[in-house]
Amino acid sequence: MISTCRRTDVGRRNPYGLRWRFYVSSLVVIMEMSACTMVGGLPFGGDSWKEEVLLHDGSRIIVERTVERGGRHEVGQKPPYKEQRLRFTMPRTNQTVTWEDHYSADLGQANFLPMALDIAEGTPYLVVYPMGCLSYNKWGRPNPPYVVFHYHDKEWMRISLQELPASITTPNVLFSQPDVEVERLGMRFVSAEVIKNIVARYSQPEFKIILRERMKETYCPEYPGFKAPFPIPSPGTDNGKK
């Protein structure tokens, strides 16, 4: 095809064309950055992502995680977790299993932070950490500070730490502010190796491994006075020491 357009500026550069292209490119970048800011810094809002979870037998499963924040919070801080969900597919059976942690009015937030998800002899187990002292008190002040569930007859049921299979020993999901960690990583899929490295950096031993023996220092000690992190026992009770 022969062009009928004649170029009259041969040998000359058009600074206005270059400048226009620069403005358009800059506008696209700004719009993309604004969109990410509106949804929490990532295209998916930082509240939905996938994790590759390494099980105790060396196999791996993909877990879809979702968190929603909301409720009262200090100025400059993120709202607490209001709703949480883990979803995964069981190996061999292809059964979809979902765990949810809903808003609790007595806490003003959800209850837990998931620490470890594993499967032993076809049964899923979940180890979670009470989120704050109010939750810790609500769930019976466990020592070590874990609440354990297993999935049985299509329901998650609480079991004792002693009933957790001995082969399950290591936290294997994002634990501390997982949505913030996902934003920091800048990835929607978090590999098992990345999770392992993050867990290894935790300083407290109860976050690096699943302890089986009681801890010497009690989590959330019962402080007397107005600023107690949970209600003080009424006078006349054993804990009230009357």
Residue type, 156: W
Structure tokens at 67: 């968190």
Number of independent structural domains in the chain? 2
Whether 70 and 174 share a structural domain = yes
pLDDT of residue 70: 86
Structure tokens at 51: 């994790």
Whether 86 and 170 share a structural domain = yes
Region of 106 on the Ramachandran plot (φ > 0 left; ψ -120 to 50 alpha; else beta): alpha
Question: Among 197, 152, 137, 189, which Cα is nearest to 171's?
Answer: 197
Whether 148 and 193 share a structural domain = yes
Whether 130 and 53 share a structural domain = yes
pLDDT of residue 222: 67
Buried b (16+ CB within 10 A) or exposed e, 26-61: eeeeeeeeeebeeebbbeebbbbbbbbbbbbeeeeb
Whether 34 and 88 share a structural domain = no
Whether 81 and 148 share a structural domain = yes
- Residue 147 phi/psi, 5-degree rounding, is -115, 130
Give the domain extent around 143. Answer: 48-208
pLDDT tens across 40-97, in order? 444 433 489 999 999 999 999 999 999 999 877 677 778 899 999 999 999 999 999 9
In a domain, 141, yes or no: yes
pLDDT of residue 217: 79
Whether 142 and 203 share a structural domain = yes
In a domain, 8, yes or no: no
Whether 75 and 33 share a structural domain = no
Which residues in the chain land under pLDDT 50? Answer: 1-16, 18-46, 224-242
Whether 24 and 116 share a structural domain = no
